[in-house]
Structure 1
Amino acid sequence: MTGKSFGNGIKSFTISNGLSKVVSKAIIILYIVSLLLPAYTHTPGFFALIFGGLSFLWLGPAVIAWSANVLFFLVLFKKNYSPRIKRLLSGIGALCGLCALFVTELPVHEGSSTTPVSIGMGFYIWETSLLLLFLKSVSDYNKSKEQQGEDFLQ
């Protein structure tokens, strides 16, 4: 990871091209690993991904956290989005993912009752993949600005 100077912080944050490919693979691998681990107590990540979309019935933090998956896939697979849009969507996705910390109970038995839950290791790996995607998007944006010769804030 390189940058013009430490003082500019995220404005000059870039990842070299070789490392960028490694980071891209790491993002996907971390996401897949998170699906295999518990996202919450007794709830595997793949279960949270598949059925988390139903959380719109209860609203609250679960549906916001689940929407991070939609943003993740949009940023990862939509090639025609500009680096600026990818940076914005991946940042929003990483923030949405943090809403999973506020989920304290999940429905059981077809939603007729709920059970208390706590965050599992899968959440931390999933959130790491979201944060890495955001950092890669920031780097890609900064590289595009360097190529265009424009300032970060314009």
Structure 2
Amino acid sequence: MSERLTIKQGPRAKVAPAAQSAFEAIRDGHVIVAPIEHSYVFVADAFNHGAVAKIHQLRGDDLGVAAQVLIRDASVVKGLSAAPHEGADALAKYFWPGLLTIITPAQRGLTWNLGDNKELGKVALRVPGNRFMTALLALTGPLAIAHASLARGKPPRTTNMIPA
């Protein structure tokens, strides 16, 4: 049975207890549903092949669809990208945390499969502006995400819209 946590938002909300519970579930290989700035997403450890595959299974994704990767801050880009675009640093400084996604060639030595069997050779990176997700990323490292909807469906804005 799934465990449901209430994540209070707002400037004085304490997100650490929920982030700790989410971290434990992700560490144990589970996929969680979590809020980000504009919707809910399926979330898993980006390096756990089985958990990332479960995200794609839950969504009904076609083969070759890669998950996006959330990172805690811009310093992580250097470890995940083979060759960041020259203007990426300036964009990241201005727009991160936030909705900007930077698509960059992925490091060849990474041991992940985001759903594309590393065939795309690229990774979509973002630093979220959501306090809960920021707290979670401080505990986990890079996280694979995809909207918690069926493939090509609308991003869910409430938990009632999540198909799982």
TM-score, structure 2 normalization: 0.26
Larger Rg: 1
Normalising by structure 1, what TM-score? 0.27
* Greater share of helix: 1
Tell me which protein shows more strand as a share of its residues.
2
